[in-house]
Amino acid sequence: MESGLAPSLLRAVVQQESAFNPAAVSRAGAAGLMQLMPGTARRFGVHDRFDPAQNLRGGAAYLAWLLRHFNHDTDLALAAYNAGEGSVHRHGNQIPPFAETQAYVRSVRRYEAQWIRKLRAE
């Protein structure tokens, strides 16, 4: 993948964010497979958040950017994907003390482990 992300991590985020539904929309207005907010979509060149290829490319680019920004700390990158990079910074570059964000990180990591096992078995 051009983003350099591990396929297991990307699949885990998509599973958590949208359950692989390209038409998913959150209460907050995030949309598509990787649940991109309008500003994030624009920032990463996504013109149609419901186009699976654009959404995946933009979401993967954002996640890869977060990984670089947080020195390849996957948990912090995932927390920022969920709560925003500013929130992670405001909490001392730690996972914010929000139950939703903490559960999100744990859930994505569980899905990632499942995808690693599945991809190795193929």
- For residue range 29-59, what is the model confidence (pLDDT) as tens digits? 999 999 999 999 999 999 999 999 999 999 9
What global pTM score does this model have?
0.94
pLDDT tens-digit series, residues 96-107: 999 999 999 999
Tokens of 61: 């680019």
- 71, 62 contact by CB (below 8 A): no
Please tell me which residue in 2, 17, 85, 100 is annotated as part of the active site: 17
Q: Report CA 92 to chain centroid distance, whole Å.
A: 21
Report, at the CATH architecture level, how domain 7-121 is classified: Orthogonal Bundle (1.10)
The residue with tokens 């990307």 is: 10
Q: Is 112 a catalytic residue?
A: no
The whole-number average pLDDT for the span 56-79 is 98
> What are the sequence ranges of the domains in the chain?
7-121
Q: Is the Cα dihedral 50, 81, 46, 65 positive or negative? A: negative
Residues facing 72 on adjacent strands: none
Q: Which residues contact 22 (CB under 8 A, 6 or more apart)?
A: 32, 33, 50, 51, 52, 55
